Amino acid sequence: MDETKLAKFEKIADQQISSGQTAYADLSKWILASLLALNGGALLVFVQVTNTYPKLGASYSPMLFLMGALFAIASGLFAQKRNLTVSLVFLKFLMADTDDKRAAELDEGMKAEKFFERGALASVLMSVVALAAGAFFLWMRAASLLAPATP
């Protein structure tokens, strides 16, 4: 690859990577903040309601809400690691001497990026599942504790 083509490619690739990373980071922030707020809020409400209804403590809900919050944090870490991996791959690609080394660096980097991207998505999914399961178990336990309505 001659120098003019490489310089042109470098400029285009840099713009594409920075815009993609910015969009990914903006989307990730809102999703993760929402999941963390929902799971954390549910755990806080559960602790406050347990003072009034101590039998609710036997539910799996607090553990599931805590796991949901931890999965939301893990998703953020995976997303951050993905962004660092993309930047590192780009730098290694530009520093490589030959086209064969560039292809090898790009292939290796794409595998690492896919791993972290899938980890982030799986963590988001697990956080949502933990929130839904925690709410379901809390609802089932609360329904059994409430006295049936008398006509």
Domain assignment of residue 147, yes or no: no
The one-letter amino acid at 77: L
How far is the C-alpha of 72 from the C-alpha of 93, rounded, in Å? 32
* 35 closest CA partner among 128, 119, 130: 128
CATH value at residue 130:
1.20.120
- Domain span at residue 24 reads 3-141
Domain assignment of residue 87, yes or no: yes
The one-letter amino acid at 59: S
Per the structure, how many domains does the chain have?
1
Domain assignment of residue 63, yes or no: yes
Domain assignment of residue 57, yes or no: yes
| pLDDT tens per residue, range 1-10 | 567 766 666 6
Domain assignment of residue 50, yes or no: yes
| pLDDT tens per residue, range 75-108 | 888 887 877 777 777 777 677 677 777 777 777 8
Domain assignment of residue 148, yes or no: no
Domain assignment of residue 146, yes or no: no
pLDDT of residue 129: 92
